[in-house]
């Protein structure tokens, strides 16, 4: 691409912020510049998500994310307005991470400790575990227990407690029925509790 054109694309349109994701997706098909709005809107969220479920380094996560945005661009016409755009883009990211695991035959690494004190307390409440007085100690124990979980269960917990997605959104992201999501969540919680208790 000519540098001039790139410069034009980089210059985000002033009305970008006011547009919904769904509108941006539609507009991107007519004008590539709008796609940059989507990239800017989602790159930080998706970068955190990729690192959380794969434990990748910044560099690897960036590569995965590049692949994700190119796939999103290629598949813009497949976006179904009956679905939330964020669920759709998270689904593509979820698939890209899985296919990256398959390609490199690597297992997910340990997830990273990037949850605030309040969220840690909520998570401890939701998981019905005894709260430690020292929040850092509690955080370390929670993450250790989480890292010992099966990757599928770990991802459900990440989506629910880290990405703050609803069951409906999780169902759309991992393409499983809501009932399956609920039963996976219960299993994840009970496995987590067992792992947490082992650490005591």
Partner 1 sequence: MKDNKFGKEIFEKIEENKIKPKPKWEFLLKNYLMWVFGVLSLVIGSLAVSVIIYMLRHNDWEVYENVTNSLLEFILVTLPYFWLVILALFILVADYNLKHTKKGYKYNLSLVIAVSLGVNVVFGGLLYNFGIGEAIDDIFGENAPFYREIINRRVPLWDHPEEGRLMGKIIEIESIDKFTIQDFKQGNWMVDAEDARTMPIIKIKIGEDVRIIGEPFADHQIKAYIIMPIGPGRGFLKRMPPIIEREMIQICPENSEFLCPEIMVQ
- Binding residues for partner 1, per CB under 8 A? 1, 6, 9-10, 29, 32, 36, 39-40, 43, 47, 58, 62, 65-66, 69-70, 73-78, 80, 82, 171, 175-180
Nearer to partner 1, 9 or 185 (CB): 9
Nearer to partner 1, 36 or 146 (CB): 36
Backbone φ and ψ of 114, nearest 5°: -130, 45
Nearer to partner 1, 80 or 128 (CB): 80
Q: Closest by alpha carbon to 21, among 33, 35, 10?
A: 35
Q: Closest by alpha carbon to 57, among 13, 106, 19?
A: 106
Query: How far apart are CB 11 and partner 1 at their closest, in Å?
Result: 10
Query: How far apart are CB 30 and partner 1 at their closest, in Å?
Result: 10
Nearer to partner 1, 74 or 109 (CB): 74
Query: How far apart are CB 193 and partner 1 at their closest, in Å?
Result: 26
Burial of 44-74, coded b for 16+ CB within 10 Å and e otherwise, reads: eebbbbbbbbbbbeeebbeebbebbbebbee
CB neighbours of 86 closer than 8 A, spacing ≥ 6? 21, 42, 169
Return d(Cα 195, Cα 68) in angstroms, integer. 33
Query: What DSSP state is assigned to residue 154?
Result: H
Query: How far apart are CB 132 and partner 1 at their closest, in Å?
Result: 34
CB neighbours of 189 closer than 8 A, spacing ≥ 6? 126, 127
Nearer to partner 1, 53 or 61 (CB): 61
Q: What are the C-alpha distances in Å from 68 to residues 25, 160, 175? A: 15, 21, 17
Query: How far apart are CB 131 and partner 1 at their closest, in Å?
Result: 35
Nearer to partner 1, 43 or 144 (CB): 43
Query: How far apart are CB 190 and partner 1 at their closest, in Å?
Result: 21
């Amino acid at each position: 691409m000519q540098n001039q054109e790139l410069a034009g694309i980089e210059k985000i349109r002033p009305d970008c912020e006011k547009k919904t994701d769904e509108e941006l997706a539609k507009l991107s098909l007519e004008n590539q510049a709008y796609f940059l709005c989507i990239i800017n809107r989602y790159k930080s969220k998706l970068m955190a998500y990729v690192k959380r479920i794969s434990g990748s380094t910044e560099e690897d996560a960036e590569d995965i994310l590049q692949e994700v945005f190119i796939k999103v661009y290629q598949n813009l016409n497949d976006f179904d307005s009956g679905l939330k755009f964020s669920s759709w883009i998270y689904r593509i990211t979820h698939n890209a991470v899985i296919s990256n695991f398959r390609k490199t035959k690597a297992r997910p690494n340990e997830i990273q400790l990037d949850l605030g004190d309040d969220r840690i307390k909520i998570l401890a409440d939701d998981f019905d575990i005894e709260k430690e007085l020292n929040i850092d100690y509690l955080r370390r124990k929670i993450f250790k227990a989480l890292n010992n979980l099966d990757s599928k269960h770990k991802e459900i917990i990440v989506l629910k407690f880290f990405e703050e997605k609803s069951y409906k959104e999780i169902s759309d992201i991992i393409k499983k029925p809501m009932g399956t999501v609920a039963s996976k969540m219960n299993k994840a919680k009970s496995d987590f509790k067992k792992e947490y208790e082992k650490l005591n």
